Amino acid sequence: MPSLVLASSSPYRRQLLERLNLPFEWAAPDIDETPLPGEAPEQLTLRLAEAKARALIEHYPTHLIIGSDQVLLLDGQPVSKPGNHANALEQLRRCSGKSIRFLTSLCLLDSASDTARSIVEPFEVVFRQLDEATIERYLLAEQPYDCAGSFKSEGLGISLFRALRGDDPNSLIGLPLIRLCDLLAEHGIQIP
């Protein structure tokens, strides 16, 4: 079985990959994540997922390298991780009663053959109407300032939603495990 490497500094992605009970290494890729002029969100996330994987190819020349990237769209516009309480408060105010869309890209790069397979996994989150007190209680409880959309769907963030729509809820956290299992199977890695 080829050795696996996760091209990510995200502890959330590492936790997701650990669910598959496969041995893997991880390393933080050093890439420029600036969108190109006129680049559509889907193209951006695909490009960055592959760039993250390719950034590690020199150090892992005979591995399967997993790259992933995510774009959150609110009112059709990309939204960043909030970084602090004030920004998270504003993001959740804007999300209240609306649907937001996540585009999570996955790239599996076989560094030995220099071949890559990539997919984009869409996922929609429909928010309840959120009042200020609910938003404040949530933010104080989970402090999701390093999470796109200012919530943790695997935690109390689930209480903010009216509906979830998509094939793989893991894509909300940043790594579409269902599609990853498909791509790994193409390389002879069976799970479980």
Which residues are known to be catalytic? 69
- Distance in angstroms (rounded) separating the CA atoms of residues 145 and 84: 5
pTM of the model: 0.93
pLDDT of residue 1: 75
Residue 63's nearest CA partner among 31, 23, 119, 11 is 23
Judged by DSSP in three states, 76 sits in coil
Q: Where are the domains of the chain?
A: 3-185
Mean pLDDT by 10 residues, the chain (192 residues): 93 96 97 95 97 98 98 93 97 97 98 98 98 98 95 95 97 96 96 90
- Distance in angstroms (rounded) separating the CA atoms of residues 76 and 88: 18
Q: What's the CATH number for 3-185? A: 3.90.950.10
pLDDT of residue 128: 98
Cβ contact 33:105 at 8 Å = no
pLDDT of residue 176: 98
Report the residue count for the chain: 192
pLDDT of residue 150: 96
Q: How many CB atoms lie within 10 A of CB 78?
A: 14
pLDDT of residue 2: 82
